[in-house]
Structure 1
Amino acid sequence: MPVFDSFLTTIQHAGVLKTREQRVLFLVLPQVNLLDLAGPAQVFDAAARLGMPYRLIFCAHRPEVCSAQGLSFAHLQPLEPIQPDDLVIVPGLKLGSEKSRRGFWDPSIIHWLRQAYDGGSPIASVCTGAFALGEAGLLDGRRCTTHWASLAALQEHYPRARVLDSALFVQDRRVTTSAGIASGIDMALSLLEQRHGPLFTAQVARYLVVYVRRNGSQSQDSIYLQYRTHLDPAVHQAQDYLINHITGSISLQTLADTVHLSVRSLTRSFKEATGLTPVQYHQRLQLELATTFLHDPGLSIEEVAHKCGFEDARHFRRLWQRTFGVPPSVSRSIHNIS
């Protein structure tokens, strides 16, 4: 993936990506929902395939577990000790009736989750996996969510939790909870973005052929996923070239030669396919890269501008303000980037 190689090189230089191996431990509970487990697992597996040193571990309090859909899992790892850098994910499960839930939670599971959190590990749940976190006392005083059909039950069973509806996922300190089923993918991408920035996360999402959906005031789209729904192969090729040379100074003639079109034909086709000119698209790529560099409080606005390919920091500031309505320094403050 030559385009991705350039992504990785660019943001590694910024210190955004972590290179030390990180474990992602999935707690596989009885009656686990397949997509709740498979969705986030696929996200971190894709991240590993694209260069991040993730190791996925599937563990349970017994070696064999049957899913809610009837597929059985065997040779699961035991509930081994958790390290502070580990990420623990609890997929959702079929809880059944109130009567059937009595004595449902094995004490070893609850103890393991409490130990993981007390040891400093971030913990996330998908769908009804939030109930396991509630049993471990990890939702007390925290904002959280679950599947829409289980919101009332979650609040009833764990009255000290602050249960939110209409949320894809909610993060409160080191505990993240997500809504039903497919939202586990959104949550996993969000966790990935916190670790590695939007540039890498957008590449993972594109690899998985999904869109990045975010919560709250965050931007709902990424430039690396926008403007790619057209079917013009030459424009796709031009977009890939621009992405691969985000920080470079590229002439329209060079870009046109790359895709074997005239400057006029390329400009017309690009505008028809994306609604932007090649120059506008390139500038938006640079601004998106700038949001990643702004996470580093050690970089000044001038240094951010230079790293994104702007020869003049004043041009960067003007372009940022015209696009977002405020200077980059204010954006950094508003979104708590620094």
Structure 2
Amino acid sequence: MGTAPESSFELRIAFILQNKFTLAAFSGFIDALRLAADDAAKSRQIRVGWDVYSLTGGQVAASCGVAVATMPGLPDPKGYDYVAICGGNSYADDTPAPALMQLIKLAHTQGVGLLGICTGSFALARAGLVDERRYCIHWNVMEAFKSRFPRAQISLDRIFIDEGDVITCAGSTAAIDLALYIIVRHCGSERARQVMRHMMMTSMRPASVPQAHFFQLPPDGTDTRVRKALHFMEQQLDQPPNNLAIARYCSISLRQLERLFRANLNQTLGQAFRSMRLNYGRYLLLGGSLSVMEIAHITGFADTAHFSREFRKAFGETPSAFRALSRRPSAEIGSEERGAVREAAI
């Protein structure tokens, strides 16, 4: 392993890029560090330092195909405040990576912080760092993570989670918020505000901001085929499949799948999917310029009247009334109404 140079940096991070890493998460995080590092915003590593490594050295391709150059070898963790594992589309590759496992365990033993960026959390869990820790997992890989690490506590109601020695992040733009959180800790609030000004951000999202997913997590012990169906339904919300397509995806008959939904969730398949689509519709009503008719179409309802009828049955008001409420100044909204709008943002 290479040796990091001694320095007077306020913050120093070693990035480990995995194959097919998520470019947005890595680039957003490291760009925040770049802007915090230099008073003149000239990208010089003065206050903050970083190095980028990989298991193979040389160029590593992101999931979008863009290649990033990495340093040879792997770092000595003790030269850094954090080792950040940046994952992406290769999370399903369960082939052991002894050098990475060794690095993670060494960093943990030395008291160096570990960051799981996007699906980099899979590597931390493979290294045995599960115990009583909560893991922040992107909703799209929740089932894959749960199937591999059933003892892990998973959270989808936050964009990152700090467990002291391990910090995990859902990925994508949430990595910028995590970077700002760490910059505040090591470099101060003013340094973080400098980053936000340059990145044209008005604020830093707290860890407690929920992820935008639209299904209730099934209870532990739920049949894996029901979990698989719910995951497929969540992924297809913009083009809702019919029930037969969902059953085919799960490799069972529709009758079998219906029985499983009733036994596990006390709901029919249709009821579960309708609830998910209505939650998505409520989320879409909060922002943007989509009309109620367009939202009805996107969420798979026959027409505006059908969507409005089901929406009112579920939430006690019409889509138009909910949208009007969400656009009123918060000072004019009562606590119960404010709670409904906050819940819809989840």
- Determine the structure 1 residue equivalent to 2:192: 201
TM-score normalised according to structure 1 size: 0.54
Q: 1:89·1:123 contact (CA, 8 Å) conserved in 2?
A: yes
The alpha-carbon distance between structure 1 residues 123 and 95, as it changes in their structure 2 partners (threshold 3 A), is same
Q: Amino acid of the residue matched to residue 204 of structure 2?
A: V
* CA RMSD, 1 decimal: 2.2
Q: Distance in 2 between matches of 1:49 and 1:171?
A: 26
Q: Distance in 2 between matches of 1:59 and 1:138?
A: 21
Match of 2:142 among 139, 144, 151: 151
- Determine the structure 1 residue equivalent to 2:72: 77
Deviations 1:227-266 (A, max 9, x none): xxxxxxxxxxxxxxxxxxxxxxxxxxxxxxxxxxxxxxxx
The alpha-carbon distance between structure 1 residues 23 and 152, as it changes in their structure 2 partners (threshold 3 A), is same
Q: Amino acid of the residue matched to residue 30 of structure 1?
A: N
Q: Distance in 1 between matches of 2:75 and 2:163?
A: 25
TM-score normalised according to structure 2 size: 0.53
* 1:199 Cα offset (Å): 2.9
Q: Structure 2: which 5+ runs fail to align? A: 1-6, 41-45, 210-346
Q: 2:13·2:80 contact (CA, 8 Å) conserved in 1?
A: no
- Determine the structure 1 residue equivalent to 2:273: none
* 1:164 Cα offset (Å): 0.6
Q: 2:11·2:186 contact (CA, 8 Å) conserved in 1?
A: no
The alpha-carbon distance between structure 1 residues 75 and 193, as it changes in their structure 2 partners (threshold 3 A), is closer
Q: 1:25·1:56 contact (CA, 8 Å) conserved in 2?
A: yes
- Determine the structure 1 residue equivalent to 2:86: 91
Structure 1 range deviating more: 141-150 or 72-81: 72-81
Match of 2:206 among 214, 227, 230: 214
Q: 2:21·2:87 contact (CA, 8 Å) conserved in 1?
A: yes
- Determine the structure 2 residue equivalent to 1:102: 94
Deviations 1:21-78 (A, max 9, x none): 5421100111111112111111111110238521110011211322211122335232
The alpha-carbon distance between structure 1 residues 207 and 30, as it changes in their structure 2 partners (threshold 3 A), is same
1:163-178 correspondence to structure 2 within 5 Å:
163-178=154-169
- Determine the structure 1 residue equivalent to 2:57: 63
**Percent of aligned pairs with the same residue?**
25
Asked if 1:140 corresponds to 2:131, the answer is yes
- Determine the structure 1 residue equivalent to 2:102: 111
Structure 1 range deviating more: 136-145 or 194-203: 194-203
Deviations 1:286-313 (A, max 9, x none): xxxxxxxxxxxxxxxxxxxxxxxxxxxx
Q: 1:25·1:57 contact (CA, 8 Å) conserved in 2?
A: yes
* 1:184 Cα offset (Å): 0.6
Q: 1:85·1:120 contact (CA, 8 Å) conserved in 2?
A: no
Q: 1:147·1:181 contact (CA, 8 Å) conserved in 2?
A: no
The alpha-carbon distance between structure 1 residues 110 and 33, as it changes in their structure 2 partners (threshold 3 A), is same
Q: 1:144·1:177 contact (CA, 8 Å) conserved in 2?
A: yes
* 1:188 Cα offset (Å): 0.8
Q: Amino acid of the residue matched to residue 52 of structure 2?
A: F
Q: Distance in 2 between matches of 1:216 and 1:21?
A: 26
Q: 2:118·2:138 contact (CA, 8 Å) conserved in 1?
A: yes
* 1:82 Cα offset (Å): 1.1
- Determine the structure 2 residue equivalent to 1:50: 39
Deviations 1:200-247 (A, max 9, x none): 212211121123111349xxxxxxxxxxxxxxxxxxxxxxxxxxxxxx
Q: 1:127·1:146 contact (CA, 8 Å) conserved in 2?
A: yes
Q: Amino acid of the residue matched to residue 48 of structure 2?
A: Y
Q: Distance in 2 between matches of 1:122 and 1:34?
A: 22
1:17-56 correspondence to structure 2 within 5 Å:
20=9, 22-50=11-39, 53-56=47-50
The alpha-carbon distance between structure 1 residues 74 and 202, as it changes in their structure 2 partners (threshold 3 A), is closer
SS of the equivalent of 1:74 reads: strand
Q: Amino acid of the residue matched to residue 79 of structure 1?
A: L
Q: Distance in 1 between matches of 2:154 and 2:77?
A: 27
Q: 2:180·2:204 contact (CA, 8 Å) conserved in 1?
A: yes
Q: Amino acid of the residue matched to residue 78 of structure 1?
A: G
Large movers: runs of 4+ above 6 Å: none
Q: 2:82·2:113 contact (CA, 8 Å) conserved in 1?
A: yes
The alpha-carbon distance between structure 1 residues 75 and 91, as it changes in their structure 2 partners (threshold 3 A), is closer
Q: Amino acid of the residue matched to residue 102 of structure 1?
A: D
Q: 1:134·1:140 contact (CA, 8 Å) conserved in 2?
A: no
- Determine the structure 1 residue equivalent to 2:276: none
Aligned length: 196
* 1:86 Cα offset (Å): 2.4
